[in-house]
Chain A
Amino acid sequence: SQTIHQWPATLVQPVGSPLSLECTVEGTSNPNLYWYRQAAGRGLQLLFYSVGIGQISSEVPQNLSASRPQDRQFILSSKKLLLSDSGFYLCAWSVPGYNQPQHFGDGTRLSIL
């Protein structure tokens, strides 16, 4: 069966520090991968998605970036964190196709001090 791993579960970082969040998927190949941010336990904001290695689409301009160095690995990064980057970050994967649901990791709660 397929599984998705996200780490760390929680992270406290100072303003201006770098960030690296990692997500890996097991049990499937060539998944579509997504990074979301959820603020205040409500709406989801899509940050990035990827349909293949090295192929990244950005939905919202910001100081975050994403990379997909391997088929089942998706990394969210920042060179300098802002206070506004605080939130709950969720990684998700899906089988390619309009009729396929997304499957989410358990998220990283990021607090910026």
Chain B
Amino acid sequence: AQSVAQPEDQVNVAEGNPLTVKCTYSVSGNPYLFWYVQYPNRGLQFLLKYITGDNLVKGSYGFEAEFNKSQTSFHLKKPSALVSDSALYFCAVRGPPSGGSYIPTFGRGTSLIVHP
């Protein structure tokens, strides 16, 4: 069975500092990995995905994520945090088609708080 872990319930960072939101996964085979952001009383918005190729994936709003196969991790990063980045972030894993689940498995979410 596939699974996703977001080990931090909350991450606090000062505006202008780099941020990292952690995600580790477990899946048989090569994973398809996704990051989403959720603002209060809104639906989730897709940020970026890793399918194959370059381990560093760039996405919306200046976010990027680094895929590390040996550590089974897909951490979300941003070089300089903004107060407006404060939100709930979800990591999700899917597949692979050879035996993984088509239905995405989501982590429990990490609340990012950026202090002015």
A residues near B, CB below 8 A? 6, 41-44, 46, 49, 59, 90, 92, 98-99, 101-107, 109
Contacts and interface: CB of A to CB of B under 8 A. Distances in A.
B109 A99 contact: no
Interface stretch (B15-23, B40-48, B72-80): B40-48
A70 B103 CA distance: 22
10 contacts: A41-B40, A42-B109, A98-B96, A99-B32, A99-B49, A101-B46, A102-B46, A106-B41, A106-B43, A109-B41
A36 B43 CA distance: 11
A44 B44 CA distance: 10
Contacts of B46: 101-103
A21 B52 CA distance: 37
A42 B44 CA distance: 11
A99 B57 CA distance: 14
Contacts of A46: 103
| B43, B96, B104: most-surrounded residue (chain A CB, <10 A) | B43
B32 A98 contact: yes
A60 to B, nearest CB: 12
A92 to B, nearest CB: 8
Nearest to A94: B104
Contacts of B96: 98
B108 to A, nearest CB: 5
Nearest to B47: A101
B67 interface: no
A40 B94 CA distance: 24
B51 A99 contact: yes
B7 interface: no
B102 to A, nearest CB: 6
B25 to A, nearest CB: 14
B106 interface: yes
Given A98-B94, A99-B32, A104 B45 contact: yes
